[in-house]
């Protein structure tokens, strides 16, 4: 096996996605296929439901899905789970989303917060026209898509004389069926913290059945201090949530009360109170979970983990 393919295979085994899966017949007919620099991109349609999937292998999870007749409807659990960040920052004015996919998260945020400035960073330029043509995504003067690696984008912002300060950051950058490792490390999260505004919140979409979940949580705790975990009841998705200030997180009762207020104000198509109740406020990583760093490949971390078990 060529060296490049071996490295890619190690990454995929280290970062399995276990969100909503479906057989191709459930997605409808294939209406678009594109081989990009980073992925093979498939778009399926069944009636008004359009589905986005990356990768050639069967069983790869759905990346994005929309109901064209009900655009406010969340077809996948993780997109509504992302809104848990509003429980910490209910009036975002400047947002950063790493990863476009079908554009559901930034599109929904734009609908509910029309005055907000939203930057979306997507590494694959082939995704943008697909999101616009098939998934009802649209950019505008204050919702901008930047074609760049998410970490490179943040590094460039930090070099500016006045780096932008985002009060709502969503980390949702998946490449096929794995999270790029350089977007999970202590060094990267420190850079994220550098563009997080006072009173801001960062939400990371991860998977709690992932073998590296405890390490991801340990890394968040190392960089941000307090961290809340929201675990989906319908998929393997989990949201790691931290604030800019190294202060105690809000009490569960206060978060649920805020969810009630936001639900009444915005009339979300999903129930934000139900999302709030997915919180696991006392969840902590296993004692042998190490912080992820740039100089340690995931395969080395997993080998160390196995040695610790033995």
Residue after which a domain boundary falls, among 18, 39, 67: 67
Q: Which residues are catalytic?
A: 172
The pair of structure tokens assigned to 245 is: 């200030």
Residue after which a domain boundary falls, among 46, 67, 88: 67
Q: State whether 136 and 221 are in the same domain.
A: yes
Q: State whether 126 and 253 are in the same domain.
A: yes
pLDDT tens per residue across span 102-122: 999 999 999 999 999 999 999
> How many structural domains is the chain composed of?
2
- Does the residue 306 lie in any domain? no
Residue 87 has what DSSP assignment? G
Euclidean distance between CA atoms 182 and 123, whole angstroms: 13
Q: State whether 119 and 244 are in the same domain.
A: yes
Q: Is 45 left (phi over 0), alpha (psi -120 to 50) or beta?
A: beta
Confidence of residue 3 (pLDDT cuts 50, 70, 90): very low
The pair of structure tokens assigned to 146 is: 């930047």
The dihedral formed by the CA atoms of 47, 19, 221 and 309, expressed in degrees to the nearest 10: -170
Closest CA to 258 of 242, 268, 273: 273
Q: State whether 122 and 43 are in the same domain.
A: no
Euclidean distance between CA atoms 100 and 63, whole angstroms: 10
- Does the residue 307 lie in any domain? no
Q: State whether 249 and 197 are in the same domain.
A: yes
- Does the residue 305 lie in any domain? no
pLDDT tens per residue across span 172-221: 987 655 678 899 999 999 999 999 999 999 999 998 888 889 999 999 99
CA 257 vs CA 37, 230, 237: distances in Å: 46, 16, 23
Whole domain around residue 281: which residue ranges? 77-298
Confidence of residue 62 (pLDDT cuts 50, 70, 90): confident
Euclidean distance between CA atoms 100 and 105, whole angstroms: 8
Q: State whether 161 and 274 are in the same domain.
A: yes
pLDDT tens per residue across span 269-295: 999 999 999 999 999 999 989 999 999
- Does the residue 97 lie in any domain? yes
Confidence of residue 296 (pLDDT cuts 50, 70, 90): confident
Q: State whether 233 and 270 are in the same domain.
A: yes
């Amino acid at each position: 096996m060529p060296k490049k393919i071996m490295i890619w295979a190690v990454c995929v085994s280290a970062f399995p996605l276990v969100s909503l899966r479906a057989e191709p017949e459930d997605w409808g007919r294939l209406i678009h296929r594109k081989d990009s620099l980073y992925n093979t991109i498939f778009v399926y349609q069944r009636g008004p439901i359009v589905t986005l999937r990356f990768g050639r292998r069967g069983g790869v999870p759905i990346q994005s899905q929309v109901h064209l007749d009900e655009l406010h409807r969340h077809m996948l659990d993780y997109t509504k789970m992302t809104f848990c960040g509003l429980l910490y920052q209910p009036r975002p004015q400047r947002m950063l989303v790493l990863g476009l996919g079908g554009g559901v998260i930034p599109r929904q945020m734009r609908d509910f917060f029309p005055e907000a400035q939203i930057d979306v960073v997507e590494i694959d330029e082939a995704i943008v026209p697909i999101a616009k043509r098939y998934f009802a995504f649209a950019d505008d003067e204050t919702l901008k898509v930047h074609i760049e690696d998410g970490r490179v984008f943040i590094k460039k912002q930090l070099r500016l004389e006045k780096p932008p300060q985002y009060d709502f950051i969503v980390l949702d950058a998946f490449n096929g069926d794995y999270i790029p490792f350089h977007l999970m490390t202590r060094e990267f999260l420190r850079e994220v913290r550098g563009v997080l505004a006072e009173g801001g919140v960062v939400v990371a979409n991860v998977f709690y059945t992932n073998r590296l979940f405890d390490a991801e949580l340990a890394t968040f705790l190392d960089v941000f201090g307090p961290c809340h975990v929201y675990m989906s009841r319908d998929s393997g998705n989990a949201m790691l949530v931290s604030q800019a200030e190294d202060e105690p997180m809000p009490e569960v009762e206060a978060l649920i009360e805020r969810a009630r207020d936001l639900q009444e104000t915005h009339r979300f198509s999903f129930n934000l109170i139900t999302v709030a109740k997915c919180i696991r406020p006392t969840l902590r990583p296993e004692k042998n979970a190490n912080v992820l760093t740039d100089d340690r490949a995931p395969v080395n971390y997993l080998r160390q983990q196995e040695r610790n078990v033995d």
